[in-house]
């Protein structure tokens, strides 16, 4: 599945919700389902500091693809992180670097990427792209 196919799939899933609470309950559920990020990797190097909550991000190469692991203290951010990983993880660094992430806006969650939220999520997306750029230059 391409990055855009994953995004479109998420958008489709969110079309089922007509109530804010259903939407957030789904995101909270995704947050709870996000695979545990190893405690020993919650280092200063992997931390993305936000004013509100911390996000941890790690990137590794599997064959030609870039795989992300991430975690957050706040469950809603964690749910959003889960979706970002679903969309970006496992793709070629070049694809990740040039990806246009439109799904957050389409599902009405773009405010979480806004500066005011200061939750580290926007910085995380930036950091994911930075990893992708770094790895694609390495190749």
Partner 1 sequence: MQLIETLDIQAIRADFPILNQEINGRKLVYFDNAATTQKPTSVIETISHYYNFDNANIHRGIHTLAERATRDFEASREAIRDFLGASSIEEIIFTSGTTQGINLVASTFGRKFIKEGDEIIISGMEHHSNIVPWQMLCEEKGIKLKVIPVTDLGELDMEAYANMLSEKVKLVSVNHVSNSLGTINPVKNIIDLAHSFGAKVLIDGAQATSHLNVDVQALDADFYVFSAHKLYGPTGIGVLYGKKDILNAMPPYMGGGEMIKDVTFEKTTYNELPYKFEAGTPNIADVVALKTALEYIAFHGKENIAAHEDMLLKYATEQLSEIEGLKIIGQSKEKISVVSFVMDGIHHQDVGVLLDNQGVAIRTGHHCTQPLMQRFNILGTSRASFAVYNTLEEIDKLVVGLHKVKKMLL
Give me the active site residues, please: 51
Q: How far is the CB of 114 from partner 1 (least distance, A)?
A: 12
Min CB(129)–partner 1 separation in Å = 23
* Least Cβ distance, residue 122 to partner 1 (angstroms): 14
Distance of CA 138 to the CA centre of its chain: 23
Surface-to-core class of residue 56, CB atoms within 10 Å of its CB (0-12 exposed, 13-18 middle, 19+ buried): buried
Of 59 and 121, CB closest to partner 1: 121
**Which structure tokens are listed for 126?**
């930036």
Starting from the edge strand earliest in sequence, which strands make up the sheet with 47-49, in order? 47-49, 54-62, 65-72
Output the six-digit token pair for 128: 């994911």
- How many residues touch partner 1 under the rule CB under 8 A: the total is 16
Q: Which of residues 70-109 bind partner 1 (CB under 8 A)?
A: 73-77
Stretch that binds partner 1, among 6-14, 36-44, 67-75, 85-93 (CB under 8 A): 67-75
Q: What are phi and psi of 126, to 5 degrees?
A: -60, -40
Chain positions contacting partner 1, by CB under 8 A:
20-21, 24-25, 28, 51-53, 73-77, 112, 118-119
């Amino acid at each position: 599945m391409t990055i855009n196919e994953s995004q479109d799939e998420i958008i489709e899933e969110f079309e089922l919700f007509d109530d804010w609470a259903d939407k957030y309950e789904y995101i909270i559920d995704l947050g709870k389902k996000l695979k545990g990020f190893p405690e020993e990797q919650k280092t200063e190097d992997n931390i993305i500091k936000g004013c509100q909550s911390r996000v941890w991000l790690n990137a590794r190469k599997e064959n030609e693809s870039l795989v992300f692991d991430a975690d957050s203290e706040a469950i809603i951010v964690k749910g959003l992180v889960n979706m970002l990983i679903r969309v970006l993880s496992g793709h070629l660094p070049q694809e990740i670097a040039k990806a246009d992430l439109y799904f957050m806006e389409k599902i009405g969650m773009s405010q979480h990427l806004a500066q005011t939220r200061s939750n580290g999520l926007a910085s995380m997306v930036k950091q994911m792209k930075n990893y992708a750029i770094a790895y694609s230059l390495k190749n």
